[in-house]
Amino acid sequence: MSHREGLRTDSIYFTLNGAPFRILGGSIHYFRVPRPYWRDRLLKLKACGLNTLTTYVPWNLHEPEKGVYCFSEQLDLEAYIHLAAELGLWVILRPGPYICAELDLGGLPSWLLRDKNMKLRTTYLGFTTAVNSYFDKLIPRVAHLQFKRGGPIIAVQVENEYGSYAKDEQYLMFVKEALLSRGITELLLTCDNREGLKCGGLDVITLLMHLYVSGCELFVLQPQKPLLVMEYWCGWFDVWGEPHHVFSAQVLKELLDRGVSINLYMFHGGTSFGFMNGAVDLGSYKSQINSYDYDAPLSESGDYTNKYHLLKNLLRSFQSKLLFSSLKFLILFLGCSLPHLPAVQGKRVYEPVVLSEHISLWENICPVICFQPFSSDDPVNMEDLPVNHNSGQSYGYTLYETTIYRGGALNSRNHVRDRALVFIDKHFSGVLDYRTQEIVLPQSERILSLLVENCGRVNYGPALDKQRKGLVGDITLNHIPLKKFTMYSLDMTHNFINRLQSLKWKSTNQNPLYPAFFRGSLVVEGQPRDTFIKLPGWRKGVVIVNGQNLGRHWSVGPQDTLYLPGPWLKSGDNQLIVFEEHRAEGKVHFAENPQHGKITDVSRQLFCTLL
């Protein structure tokens, strides 16, 4: 292969193979889009007028248990990058190890927290050893896909917004070396928000930033270098219990006119399926929803939005302007005319499905579905449970049981992470969470059960090391710590669901004891299509279709529908399981469009420095 010169930053514009190059990027995360739709979404990105795909790489999904790696099917990163190349897109890779991205623990595996002294995102030996083992598996899969070796990867980001964490001066250099020593040779970048810009960069590495650094500041920061807004936020994420965020600000044209390169975060958000979501805690804990629609140009199910068309028109006029302007700004585009828009995917509104069978959590099923219970004098947090080949429990629920000999004040001492349903002899007695830390229990000798849910580990901020879940310390009854716990891990994974299937289910005629699993069948005639699940009358729980955990339903909103991709259905019978904590209506409904709930426009808050 002839010598290829990668992305360079020697002057005020990027060059690629020696020619001026403008990055017009968009983020799509392969792990948030069903694999059969990768091609459709990348084609839509290209047809919009963008030339670069950016993606994070989530360590927690690629190494779910220590030393167990997954790089196939939905997580086949190499196939994703190959596809981008096939469609004529460049790639900017953001391999972390920490990525934020509204993922549980910012994409770090929770088993790291089994080490009591763990210092995430530092050069603490326990962390760097784990990063090295992971990068040994990851980097060889992508190194040969770099530009200079004939592939589409033109740049690689070092960590993510480290400047706003900045706990260890040596750490960024460690990550940089970890990439270089494994054969990464393309341009390295750092990416920071405003508060982190001062400490997040590395010499010789180009600084990137988010859009809420104002236009003027961008130019002052790097006067002699090309500028790239690595995260031009075209929307925002949502948390349970608050309105859906929309984003209407338009400053993209100004940036393009000023010669800035951009990456739209997100161009298409997709879905944080299952228990992938993270949480925010800026004073109070808020769990993120499953939909990662992000008010992006392509909707959660990949549909064109008004924003998509506005963007496409803007990029089209921008391209024509470039073609007629001086040669100096001629851009190395991958084909100058935009490809045709891929067809819109049809949706289906299936007939409501009655979930005619159920099984209550209290029918002594835990010893079967959770293999063996674990007993200990003190409650043990999820990560430290002896499950998953000693990687602990990452996600889902853990049931803690003990016997109490009197009633009185049950106090969580703020050790519940994040929400516990409290039962006395299988009867619901209340919820303990961050707000409610004490409830009163009736007198007499009883079995006390706490079903504790990990609602998502915080993905941003200084408290990453403190994200252990379950019961993270003593809880007290009348000020005396409770002892002698039996614990069951309910992680709702494939294996868990398989074991659940083998039990004897009952007909749903009589009202079950909650929490309970409900089961029914969706019969699809002909080709399955995308749809949205709706659960009016249900309160809170988890939805599983053909063994795939789609995510949570929760009547507090804003998300009122769960995206069910057509490729995850088949012609004929499809099994629906709904786990419900409090109250079931008995039927699953379907809708053609998502219902995002009440809306709030966040442009003003995020763009205050620009307005």
Active site residues: 161, 231
Task: Compare residues 102 and 560 and give the one whose CB is closer to ligand GLA.
Answer: 102
In angstroms, the CA 535 to CA 578 distance is 10
User: Minimum distance from CB of 608 to ligand GLA (Å)?
Assistant: 16
Which long-range contacts link 341-344 to residues 24+ away (Cβ below 8 Å)? 341/44, 341/47, 341/304, 342/40, 342/43, 342/44, 342/47, 344/303, 344/304
In angstroms, the CA 206 to CA 188 distance is 7
Which long-range contacts link 315-324 to residues 24+ away (Cβ below 8 Å)? 315/24, 315/48, 315/49, 315/50, 316/49, 318/49, 318/253, 318/256, 319/49
Task: Compare residues 100 and 359 and give the one whose CB is closer to ligand GLA.
Answer: 100
Torsion, Cα of 589, 552, 34, 567 (10° steps) = -30
Contacts of 317 (CB under 8 A, 6+ apart): none
User: Minimum distance from CB of 207 to ligand GLA (Å)?
Assistant: 14
User: Minimum distance from CB of 194 to ligand GLA (Å)?
Assistant: 11
Residue 199 DSSP code = T
Query: Using CB under 6 A as the criterion, which residues of the chain lie in contact with ligand GLA when the complex forms?
Result: 99-102, 160-161, 193, 210, 231, 237
Contacts of 480 (CB under 8 A, 6+ apart): none
Task: Compare residues 252 and 492 and give the one whose CB is closer to ligand GLA.
Answer: 252
Task: Compare residues 161 and 383 and give the one whose CB is closer to ligand GLA.
Answer: 161
Q: Which amino acid is at 238?
A: D
Helices (H), 378-448: none
Task: Compare residues 53 and 365 and give the one whose CB is closer to ligand GLA.
Answer: 53
Helices (H), 275-397: 306-324, 366-369
Helices (H), 144-225: 171-180, 215-221
In angstroms, the CA 264 to CA 232 distance is 5
In angstroms, the CA 390 to CA 428 distance is 32
User: Minimum distance from CB of 200 to ligand GLA (Å)?
Assistant: 11
Task: Compare residues 305 and 486 and give the one whose CB is closer to ligand GLA.
Answer: 305
Task: Compare residues 160 and 449 and give the one whose CB is closer to ligand GLA.
Answer: 160
Residue with smallest beta-carbon separation from ligand GLA: 100
User: Minimum distance from CB of 288 to ligand GLA (Å)?
Assistant: 10
Name the nearest CA neighbour of 441 among 456, 425, 452.
Answer: 425
User: Minimum distance from CB of 104 to ligand GLA (Å)?
Assistant: 12
In angstroms, the CA 67 to CA 356 distance is 41
Name the nearest CA neighbour of 153 among 84, 77, 91.
Answer: 91
In angstroms, the CA 81 to CA 395 distance is 28
Task: Compare residues 99 and 487 and give the one whose CB is closer to ligand GLA.
Answer: 99
User: Minimum distance from CB of 110 to ligand GLA (Å)?
Assistant: 18
User: Minimum distance from CB of 512 to ligand GLA (Å)?
Assistant: 39
Q: What are phi and psi of 76, to 5 degrees?
A: -80, 80
Is the CA virtual torsion 319, 321, 326, 328 positive or negative? negative
Task: Compare residues 264 and 472 and give the one whose CB is closer to ligand GLA.
Answer: 264
- Burial of residue 252, with CB atoms counted within 10 A of its CB: 0-12 exposed, 13-18 middle, 19 or more buried: buried
User: Minimum distance from CB of 268 to ligand GLA (Å)?
Assistant: 14
In angstroms, the CA 79 to CA 35 distance is 10
